[in-house]
Structures are given as C-alpha cells and as structure tokens.
C-alpha cells in the first residue's frame, strides 16, 4: 500500500507533495544517522495492554516503536515505518525493537511479575528477509526470552508471494515455539480463504471495523463472522482500537476473546505500566 501511495505522489506532483517528499528524504537520512551512531537511542518501545474480555485481566502487551528526534520531535510510526520499510532500515530497526521487547519481558519476569506475552510487529520486508529465522533465534538466545511468551504479528499482505510460501514461512516461525497472529485482519487484499491451513494462533480484527461498529450493520456482521470462523478453526480473536464501553460490551456479547485500545490504556512506557499496577505478581 505504501508503494502505491508513493507512486501517486509522483503522478500528481504538487508543491505540497514536494514537501512530503523532502520530509521523507530528511527522515530517511536521520534514520541512517541514528543507525550509524551505533543504535537507535532516540527510539523507544512502548507497550499497549491487551486484556481478556471475560476476566478483564492483562494477557499481553503489544510492543510499538516511538521515535523522539532531538530536533524534529516525536515522529509517528505511521510516518517513519513506511520509510524504514522502503529503505530497508526496518531490518535493523525491527531487530532492535524485538530485542528491546524481549529484554523488557525477561526483566519483568526477573522482577517477579507473572509471565506476560509480548507481541512484536513484523514488517513485510523483515518477513521476506532470508535471515529472519536466524535473527529471531539469535535474539531469543541472547536475551533468554521464553519463546512461548513472544507473539509475532504479521499481516495478510505478506501472503502476496503465494499461499504455499506463506504457509511454509509461518510454519517455520511457529517451529521456534513462538505464537503468531494476523494483524489488521479484514483489511488485506486476500480473503485468506485458506485460513484453515495457516498455522497461526490468533486474529486481530482491524481497528476500522471496531470504529464503525455502532454505525455500520455490515461491520458488525463482518466481526461476528470473523469471530465465529476463527473459533471454528480454534483461533483466538482480539479486537484492536476499542475506545468505548459500548464497543467493549458489544464485543463481549459476541464472543470476542481479548481487546486492546484506548479504553483500557494507551501504549505506555514499561515503568508507567508497572506503576499503574497493570502487571501482576
């Protein structure tokens, strides 16, 4: 999708878009600089709670990157992730984020908290990278992370290279003992009619369906069919972007397993999460 957008920018060239392109070039340069300095010190990983709908208890957290540039200020991942993706910098940056998330998880365990699952987003470029398996094994080994507590989020769009390849790749990842979930489910090009063949544990219903839940009968129907299909296949379902009690109640009444969203909490720094008492001993 990012690529397509990029093309449009060149097709409909306006002074305004020129500015967008200049910003892209600047951010890419700044990212390279951060990497050359031997790390991503200006980056940070924040964690958004995921809770069980029935019990209200924390089940996991999603690790989300933040970039706080000393001059440019906070840059949103929806702006810098696509740039990192196109330039290939997502490979080292994604590894850094995974490593940080694993180190934090191990630190929580050592501090006596109950095991908590951490979900880390994989980008299409990382997914295609032939060193992916080795990279994850290395990070698990080096950090002492329990693979069973690590969940990797992939998207439907990563299936573009064909169903067979996709299924094989997922099976390889799963053989590491990690959990797999399909992020932004329902927005991809593919209908994933072969969902029954995918070795994943969970579907994350995209925020757009949740947002329009109260105004769109179709969306409500899409969600109920995703939930019933997932449960038939023994998959868990989590809804992302839950902002209101109304949405939560509807999801609870329709069998959704877990939720994530501003209603529960915004993404927080590890120390904030501890202070709020969201982690349990």
* Contact residues for ligand C2E, defined by CB under 6 A: 48, 64-65, 76-78, 81, 90, 94, 97, 121-123, 183-184, 207, 240-243, 260-262, 267
Nearest partner of 84 among 148, 30, 132, 144, judged by Cα: 30
The CA distance from 222 to 150, in Å, is 28
- Does position 258 interact with Mg ion (CB under 5 A)? The reply is no
Cβ contact 94:133 at 8 Å: no
Q: Which residue of 48, 50, 59, 121 would you call a contact of Mg ion, by CB under 5 A?
A: 121
User: Which does residue 123 bind out of ligand C2E, Mg ion, none, counting CB within 5 to 8 angstroms by kind?
Assistant: ligand C2E
Q: Helix/strand/coil (H, E, C) string of 223-281?
A: HHHHHHHHHHCCCEEEEECCCCHHHHHHHHHCCCCEEECCCCCCCECHHHHHHCCCCCC
Cβ contact 65:77 at 8 Å: yes
User: Which does residue 60 bind out of Mg ion, ligand C2E, none, counting CB within 5 to 8 angstroms by kind?
Assistant: none
Range in contact with Mg ion (rule: CB under 5 A) among 7-15, 108-116, 184-192, 269-277: 184-192
Least separation in angstroms between CB 226 and ligand C2E: 16
For residues 210, 94, 118 and 239, what is the CA-based torsion angle, rounded to 10 degrees? 10
User: Which does residue 175 bind out of ligand C2E, Mg ion, none, counting CB within 5 to 8 angstroms by kind?
Assistant: none
User: Which does residue 97 bind out of ligand C2E, Mg ion, none, counting CB within 5 to 8 angstroms by kind?
Assistant: ligand C2E
Binding-residue pattern over the window 62 to 101 for Mg ion, x denoting contact by CB under 5 A: ----------------------------------------
The CA–CA distances, whole Å, from 175 to 130, 145, 169, 170 equal 16, 15, 10, 9
Local structure of 106: helix, strand or coil: helix
Binding-residue pattern over the window 228 to 247 for Mg ion, x denoting contact by CB under 5 A: ------------x-------
Q: Which residue of 184, 236, 259, 260 would you call a contact of Mg ion, by CB under 5 A?
A: 184
């Amino acid at each position: 999708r990012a690529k397509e957008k990029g093309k449009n920018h060149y097709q409909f060239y306006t002074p305004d878009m020129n500015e967008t392109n200049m910003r892209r070039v600047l951010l890419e340069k700044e990212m390279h600089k951060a990497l050359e300095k031997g790390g991503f010190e200006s980056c940070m990983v924040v964690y958004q709670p995921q809770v069980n709908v029935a019990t209200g208890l924390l089940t996991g957290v999603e690790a989300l990157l933040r970039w706080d540039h000393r001059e440019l200020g906070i840059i949103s991942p929806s702006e810098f992730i696509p740039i990192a993706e196109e330039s290939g910098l997502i490979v080292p940056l994604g590894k850094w984020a995974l490593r940080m998330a694993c180190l934090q998880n191990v630190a929580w365990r050592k501090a006596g908290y109950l095991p908590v699952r951490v979900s880390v987003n994989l980008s299409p470029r990382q997914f295609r990278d032939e060193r992916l398996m080795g990279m994850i094994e290395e990070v698990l080994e080096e950090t002492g992370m329990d693979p069973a507590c690590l969940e990797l989020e992939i998207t439907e769009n990563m299936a573009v290279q064909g169903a067979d390849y996709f299924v094989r790749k997922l099976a390889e990842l799963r053989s590491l003992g990690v959990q797999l979930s399909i992020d932004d489910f329902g927005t991809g090009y593919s209908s994933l009619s072969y969902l029954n063949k995918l070795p994943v544990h969970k579907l994350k219903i995209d925020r757009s369906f949740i947002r329009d839940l109260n105004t769109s009968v179709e969306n409500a129907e899409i969600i109920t069919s995703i939930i019933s299909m997932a449960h038939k296949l023994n998959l868990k379902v989590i809804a992302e972007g839950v902002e209101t009690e109304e949405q939560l109640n509807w999801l609870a009444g329709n069998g959704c397993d877990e939720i994530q969203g501003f209603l529960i909490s915004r993404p927080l720094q590890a120390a904030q999460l501890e202070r709020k008492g969201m982690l349990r001993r």
